[in-house]
């Protein structure tokens, strides 16, 4: 990618984040936002900026960065442009954990933890299934195992929700469509740790992913331990996905869409693809969250629905180019 | 340099072994060619070297060291492999692709050093792929892609190079260029192990030929020793004659039309 494009990408993220702190039910000017950050604005403005908008924008950015980077690495390692962070059963497992917690009327702070646990459990199950099938390093076997585990998880959700009352179903649905509304500084700090560790691990694996993307035989001949690198990418990607899911529910399409965008913008090696996908993912989710809370006030749209609506036209355009 | 010692491989759910007690050696300074009909076990030999199939028995040794010990990365600094099929999933610039050949030499934190850059430039020059440098590997023609893959393997360094059908998709000129280059690499001191269907070219360029048939070594030796009409006719199951090419003096195989043979399969 050219330096100019990198600059544009980072500028887009900056602009989205500034807009995210300015707009909402209460519209603030950039000066008011600045005063709010410094604590020199009115107490209400300061509270809105510091306690509501900033954590929300940062949380959305972290969710997007994690999903974008994880999607880029997974697409490379599996050589599959349809791979995304929610494969390997992550989404199904997270939703199952969260929905079961909601259905059992667990206290609200436990729901994300249950989602996180469900996601990791599903990934472990996927990798075990793939291993039992004898395809430890074979991306196709792992992807198929992920589909199977995901389908099973979805069935489990339907069973759990079958007898639940309307409020539980609504709560579960809201969570399954994603939202950054519950952002807090605690959630931001927790997710920041996950995203930093996850993206750093993927960047360390980036060169190996470049090689792995050439095919498993070729990669083996170039000294890549295929099974180990693939496992590293799966685990780091799943941790990122599970962390974001715990913080904001399921935000679909980002991990699938963003790697395509940055490759179209000219990112070639996985070091730049993963980095750019992190930045672009952050910008996209901040923007989507802004749309989610300002498009139809006072209602708030599900974040995952907005990212999907933003993603569909892009994929239709891609499809036309392919056909 | 590279020694296959009594190697046997059987794929899961297959009755017959793909390789059944194959022994051969590719030594430094020589071009060793492995030939044989489709399904004779040539590619399995390469996969065994790559550690991609489990050995039923026997061992693959590099400089006397068993491949099952030691890391793949250390091995890759000594032996470069060009596999039969490689379909890039994503566009990568040719220069970046060739540079990936240096992967086994780089540490987790260390970027390419001067020696790495030099190796890449030398490989690009040797394979005459300079004009392709800025192109995406997904946009190359079949012949260009083969040359770029060869450049990547040369950039990988080491003193052995293994190639599985490197001249597929190449026209006569580019095919000859590849054989000349491999021959030069061999005579500069590398061990070159070449799997090929091009019997006549192999007969001209190889120092040693190993003929595989149903996972066994059917014949091995110099081109003149291996290029025997009776043996080749049995292995390839087709009527043929071996003559001497009047222009270059090497043994040359001429397959005959089927009607000259009695019963057809």
With beta carbons less than 8 A apart as the criterion, state whether B75 and B67 touch. Answer: yes
Residue of B nearest to A201 (CA): B108
Q: What is the tens place of the pLDDT at every residue in A116-151?
A: 888 888 888 988 888 888 765 677 888 888 889 988
**pLDDT value at position B261?**
55
For A54-99, the DSSP string reads: HHHHHHHHHHHHHHHHHHHHHHHHHT-TT--TTTTTHHHHHHHHHH
Helix ranges, chain A (H): 3-22, 30-38, 43-47, 54-78, 90-103, 110-132, 139-162, 166-176, 185-204, 206-212, 216-221, 226-248, 254-264, 270-294, 303-322
What average pLDDT does the segment A91-101 reach?
83
What digits encode the pLDDT tens for the residues B19-33?
A: 999 999 999 999 999
Contact between A1 and A270 (Cβ < 8 Å): no
Is the pLDDT reported for residue A56 higher than 70?
yes
Nearest C-alpha of chain B: how many angstroms from A227?
Answer: 11
Ranges A109-123, A308-322, B50-64, B188-202, most confident: B188-202
Taking every pair of Cα atoms in chain A, the longest distance, rounded to a whole number of angstroms, is: 64
Kindly indicate the confidence band of residue B195, based on its pLDDT and cuts at 50, 70 and 90.
Answer: very high
**Which residues on B lie below 8 Å from A215 (Cβ)?**
83, 85-87, 89
> How does the average pLDDT of chain B come out, rounded?
90
Of B72, B86, B101, the CB nearest to A215: B86
What percentage of residues in chain B have a pLDDT greater than 70?
96
Q: What single-letter DSSP state applies at residue A49?
A: I
| B158: nearest CA partner in chain A | A222
pLDDT value of residue A85: 83
Distance CA A246, CA A263 (A): 28
- Over chain B, what HEC string results? CEEEEEEEECCCCCCCCCEEEEEEEECCCEEEEEECCCCCCHHHHHHHHCCCCCCCEEEEEECCEECCCCCHHHHHCCEEEECCCCCCCCCCEHHHHHHHCCHHHCCCCCCCCHHHHHHHHHHHHHCCCHHHCCCEHHHCCHHHHHHHHHHHHHHCCCCEEEEECCCCCCCHHHHHHHHHHHHHHHHCCCEEEEECCCHHHHHHHCCEEEEEECCEEEEEECHHHHCCHHHHHHHHCCCEEEEECCCCCCEEEEECCHHHCCCCC
Could you tell me the pLDDT band of residue A242, with boundaries at 50, 70 and 90? confident
Q: What pLDDT shows up at residue B4?
A: 95
Q: Over 80: is that where the pLDDT of B109 sits?
A: no
Q: At what angle do helices A226-248 and A90-103 cross, to 10 degrees?
A: 30
Exposure string over B216-242, b if 16+ CB within 10 A, otherwise e? ebbbbeebeebbeeebbbebbeebbeb
Name beta bridge partners: B211.
B35, B219
Q: What's the angle, vertex CA B30, arms to CA B173 and CA B125, rounded to 5?
A: 45
Residue A11 pLDDT class (50, 70, 90 cuts): very high
Nearest to B206 by CA among B240, B230, B244, B180: B180
What average pLDDT does this structure show over B78-96? Answer: 90
Dihedral, CA atoms, A28, A29, A32, A36, nearest 10 degrees?
Answer: 50
For residue A222, CA distances in Å to A90, A219, B50, B80, B87 come to 31, 5, 9, 7, 15
- Written as six digits, the tokens of A138 are 């074979």
**Integer Cα distance of B107 and B102 in angstroms:** 10
Task: Please determine, for residue B89, whether its predicted confidence score (pLDDT) is greater than 80.
Answer: yes
pLDDT confidence of residue B5: 94
- Taking only the tens place, the pLDDT of each residue in B127-138 is 999 999 999 999
Query: At A37, is the pLDDT very low, low, confident or very high (cuts 50, 70, 90)?
Result: confident
Q: How far apart are CA A279 and CA A275, in angstroms?
A: 7
CB contact under 8 A, B75 and A223: yes
CB pairs under 8 A between A and B: 86
The pTM of this model reads 0.88
Average predicted confidence (pLDDT) for chain A: 88
CA distance linking residue B35 with residue B245, whole number of Å: 19
Min Cα distance B213 → chain A (Å) is: 24
Mean per-residue pLDDT for B34-43?
A: 93
pLDDT of residue B260: 57
Q: Which of chain A's residues have a Cβ under 8 Å away from the Cβ of B83?
A: 215, 217-218, 221
pLDDT band at A299 (very low <50, low <70, confident <90, very high): confident
Number of Cβ within 10 Å of residue B34's Cβ equals 29
Minimum mean pLDDT range among A314-318, B2-6, B102-106: A314-318
pLDDT of amino acid B259: 58
What is the average per-residue pLDDT within B39-54? Answer: 90
- Chain B residues with CB under 8 Å of A82 CB are none
Q: What is the pLDDT of residue A65?
A: 97
Name the residue with higher pLDDT: A154 or A12: A12
For the residues B201-218, what does the mean pLDDT come to?
Answer: 95
Q: Which of B72, B79, B97, B108 to mutate to test the interface with A (most CBs of A within 10 A)?
A: B72
- Chain A residues within an 8 Å CB radius of B111: none
Average pLDDT of the segment spanning A195-205: 95
> What pLDDT shows up at residue A26?
85
What is the arithmetic mean of pLDDT over B146-162?
93
Is residue B194 over pLDDT 90?
Answer: yes
pLDDT value of residue B20:
93
Is the pLDDT score of A285 beyond 90?
Answer: yes
Q: Model ipTM?
A: 0.86
């Amino acid at each position: 990618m050219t330096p100019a494009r990198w600059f544009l990408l980072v500028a887009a993220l900056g602009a989205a984040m500034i807009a995210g702190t300015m707009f909402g039910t209460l519209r603030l000017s950039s000066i008011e936002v600045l005063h709010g950050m410094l604590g020199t604005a009115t107490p209400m403005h300061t509270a809105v900026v510091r306690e509501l908008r900033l954590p929300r924008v940062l949380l959305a950015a972290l969710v997007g960065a994690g999903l974008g980077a994880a999607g880029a690495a997974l697409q490379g390692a599996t050589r599959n442009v349809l791979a995304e962070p929610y494969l390997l059963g992550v989404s199904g497992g997270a939703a199952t954990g969260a929905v079961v917690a909601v259905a059992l009327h667990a206290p609200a702070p436990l729901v994300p933890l249950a989602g996180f646990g469900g996601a990791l459990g599903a990934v472990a199950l996927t990798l075990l299934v793939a291993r039992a099938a004898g395809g430890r390093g074979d991306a196709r076997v792992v992807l198929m195992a992920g589909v199977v585990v995901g389908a099973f998880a979805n069935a489990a959700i339907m069973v759990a929700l079958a007898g639940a009352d309307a409020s539980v179903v609504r709560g579960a649905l809201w969570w399954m469509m994603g939202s950054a509304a519950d952002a807090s500084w605690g959630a931001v700090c927790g997710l920041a740790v996950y995203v930093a560790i996850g993206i750093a691990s993927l960047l360390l694996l980036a060169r190996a992913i470049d090689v792995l993307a050439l095919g498993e035989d070729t990669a083996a001949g170039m000294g890549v331990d295929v099974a180990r690198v693939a496992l590293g990418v799966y685990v780091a990607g799943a941790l990122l996905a599970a962390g974001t899911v715990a913080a904001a529910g399921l935000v679909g399409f980002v991990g699938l869409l963003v790697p395509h965008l940055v490759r179209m913008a000219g990112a070639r090696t996985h070091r730049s693809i993963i980095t750019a996908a992190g930045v672009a993912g952050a910008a996209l989710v901040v923007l989507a969250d802004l749309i989610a809370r300002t498009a139809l006030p006072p209602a708030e749209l599900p974040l995952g629905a907005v990212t999907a609506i933003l993603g569909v036209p892009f994929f239709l355009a891609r499809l036309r180019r392919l056909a | 340099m590279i020694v296959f010692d009594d190697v046997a491989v059987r794929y899961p759910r297959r009755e017959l072994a793909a390789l059944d007690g194959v022994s051969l050696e590719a030594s430094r300074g020589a071009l060793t060619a492995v030939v044989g009909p489709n399904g004779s076990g040539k590619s399995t030999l390469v996969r065994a070297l790559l550690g991609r199939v489990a050995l039923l028995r026997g061992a693959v040794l590099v400089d006397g060291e068993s491949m099952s010990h030691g890391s793949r990365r250390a091995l890759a600094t000594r032996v470069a492999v060009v596999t039969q099929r490689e379909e890039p999933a994503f566009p990568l610039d040719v220069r970046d692709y060739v540079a990936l050949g240096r992967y086994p030499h780089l540490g987790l934190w260390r970027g390419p050093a001067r020696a790495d850059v030099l190796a890449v430039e030398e490989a690009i020059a040797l394979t005459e792929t300079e004009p392709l440098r800025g192109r995406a590997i997904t946009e190359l023609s079949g012949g260009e892609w083969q040359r770029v893959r060869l450049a990547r393997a040369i950039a990988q360094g080491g003193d052995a190079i293994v190639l599985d059908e490197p001249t597929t998709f190449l026209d006569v000129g580019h095919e000859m260029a590849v054989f000349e280059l491999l021959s030069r690499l061999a005579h500069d001191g590398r061990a070159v192990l070449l799997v090929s269907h091009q019997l006549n070219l192999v007969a001209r360029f190889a120092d040693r030929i190993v003929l595989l048939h149903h996972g066994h070594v059917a014949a091995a030796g110099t081109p003149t020793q291996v290029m025997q009409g009776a043996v080749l006719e049995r292995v390839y199951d087709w009527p043929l004659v071996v003559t001497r090419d009047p222009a270059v003096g090497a043994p040359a195989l001429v397959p005959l039309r089927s009607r000259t043979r009695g019963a057809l399969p």
